[in-house]
Amino acid sequence: MKEKSAVVLAFLSVTALLVVGGCQSARRGAPFTAVSLETPELVAGQKVFQTHCSHCHPGGDGGLGPAINNKPLPDFLIRFQIRNGLGVMPAFSEEQISEAEMENLLNYLAVLKKQQPPPD
């Protein structure tokens, strides 16, 4: 029974991820101003992003992977995607991204999403 619940939860999470992930804003493709990193945790989150994410999501924009700077995904779905992967995105284990690094990454992504593109 526990296995069935886990499968249903995973299915619902992935479905929600796909539905919400399909929403896009006008920011897609717009370059960002410099991200203001006011705490050591945000700097650490940026380092995790640069190490594991930026080659597919450069600056949070779309590359090999889709843009993540314009997705209103809640943290639990982002965490699920990172830990389990989806499509061409690989899964990242706790050995690759620790729980502390995950928290720093999620906080960095929240700051990244709040950045405004520079004026034309």
Task: Render pLDDT for 55-98 as a digit per residue (tens, 0 to 9).
Answer: 999 888 888 888 888 878 899 999 999 999 988 899 999 999 99
Helix (H, G, I), strand (E, B) or coil at 7: helix
Which of the pair, 6 or 12, is modelled with greater confidence?
6
Above 70 in pLDDT, residue 17?
Answer: no
Query: How many whole angstroms separate alpha carbon 3 and alpha carbon 88?
Result: 25
pLDDT digits (tens, 9 = 90+) for 99-117: 999 999 999 999 888 876 6
Domain residue limits, the chain = 2-114
Q: Which CATH superfamily groups domain 2-114? A: Cytochrome c-like domain (1.10.760.10)
